Amino acid sequence: MTKDRWTIFAPLRGLAGGDPTPGSVTRDVSAGVIASLVVLAHCLSLSALIFSGDLASGLPFALWGFLAASVVVTIIAGFATSLPPMLCGPRNPVVAVMAVLATTISAAAFAKGASPSVAVQHVLVALALSTTVAGAFIWMLGVFRLGQAVRFVPFPVIGGFLAASGLLLILGGLQVGMGIRFSQGGLAPLLADSAPLKLIATFAIAACLVILRRWPSGLPAALVAAVVVLHAGLWLFGGASADWFLPSTGSAQGWSPLASVAGIDWMILAAASVEIASIVGVSTVALLLDVSSLEVQRRGHADMDSEFRTIGAANVTVAAIGGLPTGCSLNPSRLIDATGGASRLAGFSGALFLAALLMSGLDATLIVPRPVLGGLLIFLGIGVLQEALRVPGRRSRPEIALTLAIMMAIVAFGYLPGVLLGFVGACLLFAVRYSRIDVVRRHVTRADFAAPVERRPDLARLLSEQGGRIHIFWLSGYLFFGSCNGLFESIRSAAAPRGLFGRRWVILDCSGVTGIDASAVLSLQKLANWAAASDVALVLASASADLRDELTAAGLIGARRAAVSFATRNDALEWCENELVSSAGGAAAARLDFAQWLGREMGADAAGILIDRYLERRTLEAGDVICALGAPADTIELVAQGSVAVIVRGLANAPIRVRRMTVGTVVGEMGFFRKQPRAASVVAEEAAVVYVLSRAAYDRLMAVDAPTGTAFLQFVIRALADRVDGSNREIAALL
């Protein structure tokens, strides 16, 4: 039989992801039906967890709510999901919170003298309200494209939520499996009648499910086998005993939330607002984790905003017919993959099978014994606990300890205290860890890192020798109390006198600082006070406008001038160098005239000959161009007064000053000796005097007066060697 003859499957092309074949349709349908059996077991177990004991009469309504929601949400989400096939159902962590909500509301209702039926009515309306609010919240996250933002919730908080939910599921599984409530009678019910046997059976079934968890396709078979074995055992050893099954309340029963609000005491529901809000939060987190896990499982990428919009809207829709919170069900969806399902048709087939069971009126409470339901709950709780304590990558002990602390706080005191503890603990843990990250990205001194200023050789040597008095700190990250305290200690230790006495300078390059808080400002004020008392000049550079405003308001910069501020690190370093030269006696040496300086470098006789016979004196005004980029390099300039700037062109042809040449420096020698066009422009920054050696004068010098020419070349070579040495030290300091 050829593929073309199966035209009956043509309408299934969209659902099957292409042209279907009999084999692919059969695999999808069978996979969906098998996975739906697990959803059915989940719905029955979780309904029994919420409605047990005095609330048992509400089980049919909860079963209806879970099954109806699973059908409707699967169909709605199945068309829009970015991770098909998907089967939806109740989420285990959410149901754990729903059980807490049911306990809280029923206790309040009974305290006011309400009957069990009235208490059940209050619980059902509260669950419907929770479904509506959770769906609307999740939908809004998707509409405003905030689905990804949920990923930024600290994981210890999420882990604590999940761990508490897992523990509550395990405890609930014991109660459902044994048919007792731990709050009634202490430990006595554990030893009464057949309770020990039910406990053993519950644990045995849970253990089997845990063993089979690596093979999802084996879960439905294990559940069916457990039901058969227990029925056979009960028949062989005295017939079916009613206490091994849930109280029969009939098949799933539909109900209308709007018709049930009459007679509701809204104060009881208002008192449970924390639990309702917890359902909203846990529903959001559970949806995020399930979709993220399915992404990893199927090696795909989910549109989180689309998933949130679709599932949120579906929950709001289904709440009107008594549906309960439902979303992407991870294990059944994975089971579809394990049993060969590959298209949206698998999810729809599972939903239709659940709808058929829902309409059939089957009373599952007479078929599935308590230990099977309890064992399934324990298995689900163990899975949630493992998910809470297992994260990709290494987990630190503090994170695990915080997760467990949140779990215990939630179980002991409720979800609100647990959430508060979680966020406070996560913030403190982050602060402690972030404070260990050194905000000092790099620290060097002027001895190894100079400003882009060319100085006379004797002044350059002075700066090199005394440069340990100027410290440069590159800062990065967010400044707060933890990081700034470490910064203060680093600066105090680095700037301590070590053979170099006198005034010191500390430059803080803030170009990498992203922000600052009030505690950091106080720490910087403490630093400024220490600097003032220790003869240390505090210099700030490259601070953003916001940071400057904060520091100005704190009085660190501005009128009080507790610290000096510059636009760039180079400006700050140049200012510190000038201050150091002045304090070290270099200012007097700087007043040497050109002839005296050149005589020191070349010898008095050679310098006199060079000045009188070969150099041309040129007076410049600020802005005068000495040489232009790309022009022939036919001259060497010696700066006698003022300063000149070396300028290159950057992006959009913008001028960039790369170096400043001061008195007693040589300009243009590289292009001159290489006979290459000028690589940069040289412009007078202020009124200046330069002495120019032309190529013709140089040729004449070398031909007529070789000793003077040799002295000049040695002078130029020393200047170049000093530059290379300085560049090497800077490179080494920055590595």
Residue 151 predicted with pLDDT over 80: no
Among 553, 571, 589, identify where a domain stops.
Answer: 589
Q: What is the pLDDT of residue 350?
A: 92
Same domain for 398 and 490? no
Same domain for 538 and 647? no
The residue to which tokens 């285990």 are assigned: 92
Same domain for 162 and 225? yes
Residue 12 predicted with pLDDT over 60: no
Among 535, 558, 589, identify where a domain stops.
Answer: 589
Average pLDDT over residues 387-412: 75
Average pLDDT over residues 61-79: 93
Report the distance separating Cα 107 and Cα 441, nearest Å.
Answer: 58
Alpha helices in 19-115 (DSSP H): 22-50, 59-80, 92-111
Same domain for 396 and 301? yes
Same domain for 74 and 168? yes
The residue to which tokens 């106080």 are assigned: 522
| CATH number, domain containing residue 685 | 2.60.120.10
Q: Using DSSP, state whether 658 is helix, strand or coil.
A: strand
Residue 414 predicted with pLDDT over 50: yes
Give the domain extent around 585: 440-589
Residue 499 predicted with pLDDT over 70: no
Q: What is the pLDDT of residue 406?
A: 84
Q: What is the pLDDT of residue 185?
A: 46
Report the distance separating Cα 240 and Cα 315, nearest Å.
Answer: 39
Same domain for 253 and 349? yes
Average pLDDT over residues 153-166: 76
Domain count, the chain: 3
Residue 7 predicted with pLDDT over 70: no
Q: What is the pLDDT of residue 639?
A: 92
Q: For residue 395, what are the contacts with CB-CB under 8 A and spacing of at least 6?
A: 389
Q: For residue 24, what are the contacts with CB-CB under 8 A and spacing of at least 6?
A: 16, 342, 343
Window from 1-15, 126-140, 340-354, 626-640 with minimum mean pLDDT: 1-15
Q: What is the pLDDT of residue 463?
A: 87
Report the distance separating Cα 228 and Cα 221, nearest Å.
Answer: 10
Angle, in degrees to the nearest 10, between helices 370-389 and 397-413: 140
Residue 391 predicted with pLDDT over 60: no
Query: Is 549 contained in some domain?
Result: yes
pLDDT above 70 as % of the chain: 88
Among 565, 589, 613, identify where a domain stops.
Answer: 589
Q: How confident is the model at residue 192 (pLDDT cuts 50, 70, 90)?
A: low
Average pLDDT over residues 148-161: 72
Q: How many CB atoms lie within 10 A of CB 3?
A: 11
**Pair type for strands 644-649 and 655-661:** antiparallel
Q: What is the pLDDT of residue 10?
A: 47
Task: Please give the single-letter amino acid code of residue 530.
Answer: W
Residue 139 predicted with pLDDT over 90: yes
Q: What is the pLDDT of residue 5?
A: 44
Q: What is the pLDDT of residue 282?
A: 85
| Structure-block tokens of residue 604 | 């008095």
Cβ atoms 365, 245 nearer than 8 A: yes
Q: How confident is the model at residue 113 (pLDDT cuts 50, 70, 90)?
A: very high
User: Could you tell me where the beta strands, DSSP code E, fall in 609-665?
Assistant: 616-620, 625-627, 635-641, 644-649, 655-661
| Structure-block tokens of residue 98 | 């729903």
Query: Is 144 contained in some domain?
Result: yes
- CA-nearest of 88, 48, 91 to 71 is 88
Report the distance separating Cα 635 and Cα 118, nearest Å.
Answer: 103
Same domain for 283 and 388? yes
The residue with greater pLDDT, 179 or 263, is 263
For 522-543, how does the pLDDT look when each residue is reduced to its tens digit (9 = 90+)?
888 888 888 888 888 999 999 9
Q: What is the pLDDT of residue 555?
A: 78
DSSP secondary structure letters along 587-636: HHHHT--HHHHHHHHH-HHHHHHIIIII-EEEEE-TT-EEE-TTS---EE
Residue 188 predicted with pLDDT over 70: no
Same domain for 621 and 504? no
Report the distance separating Cα 98 and Cα 130, nearest Å.
Answer: 9
- CA-nearest of 196, 408, 166, 204 to 282 is 166
Report the distance separating Cα 539 and Cα 41, nearest Å.
Answer: 70
Same domain for 596 and 477? no
Residue 299 predicted with pLDDT over 80: no
Q: How confident is the model at residue 3 (pLDDT cuts 50, 70, 90)?
A: very low
Report the distance separating Cα 203 and Cα 375, nearest Å.
Answer: 6
Name the β-bridge partners of 453: 660
Q: What is the pLDDT of residue 323?
A: 94
Q: What is the DSSP letter of 148?
A: G
Q: What is the pLDDT of residue 238?
A: 65
Average pLDDT over residues 682-698: 93
Expressed in percent and rounded to 5, the helix, strand and coil fractions of the chain are 65, 10, 25
Instruction: State which H helix or E strand residue 498 sits in.
Output: none
Query: Is 497 contained in some domain?
Result: yes
Residue 138 predicted with pLDDT over 80: yes
| Structure-block tokens of residue 49 | 């967890």
Cβ atoms 312, 283 nearer than 8 A: no
- Sheet with 688-694, strands from edge to edge, namely 616-620, 688-694, 635-641, 666-667
- CA-nearest of 304, 306, 323, 307 to 315 is 323
For 580-628, how does the pLDDT look when each residue is reduced to its tens digit (9 = 90+)?
988 876 555 555 688 888 888 899 999 999 999 999 999 999 999 999 9
Phi, psi torsion values for 241, nearest 5 degrees: -100, 135
Q: What is the pLDDT of residue 9?
A: 45
Mean pLDDT for all residues in the chain: 84
Query: Is 176 contained in some domain?
Result: yes
Same domain for 179 and 227? yes
Same domain for 572 and 666? no
The residue with greater pLDDT, 105 or 491, is 105
For 433-485, how does the pLDDT look when each residue is reduced to its tens digit (9 = 90+)?
766 677 888 888 988 888 888 888 888 888 888 888 999 999 988 887 777 77
Window from 97-101, 141-145, 189-193, 545-549 with minimum mean pLDDT: 189-193
Query: Is 239 contained in some domain?
Result: yes
pLDDT above 90 as % of the chain: 31
| CATH number, domain containing residue 464 | 3.30.750.24
User: Could you tell me where the beta strands, DSSP code E, fall in 492-609?
Assistant: 504-516, 536-541, 564-566
- CA-nearest of 15, 71, 40 to 314 is 71
For 323-350, how does the pLDDT look when each residue is reduced to its tens digit (9 = 90+)?
999 999 877 887 788 778 888 999 999 9
Residue 416 predicted with pLDDT over 50: yes
Same domain for 475 and 401? no
Q: Based on the number of CB atoms within 10 Å of its own CB, is 628 exposed (0-12), middle (13-18) or buried (19 or more)? A: middle
Residue 1 predicted with pLDDT over 60: no
Window from 13-22, 125-134, 270-279 with minimum mean pLDDT: 13-22
Query: Is 153 contained in some domain?
Result: yes
Q: How confident is the model at residue 143 (pLDDT cuts 50, 70, 90)?
A: very high
Q: What is the pLDDT of residue 549?
A: 85
* Exposure string for 456-480, b = 16+ CB within 10 A, e = fewer: bbbbbebbbebbbbbbbbbbbbebb
Query: Is 698 contained in some domain?
Result: yes
Average pLDDT over residues 708-721: 91
Query: Is 223 contained in some domain?
Result: yes
Q: How confident is the model at residue 17 (pLDDT cuts 50, 70, 90)?
A: low
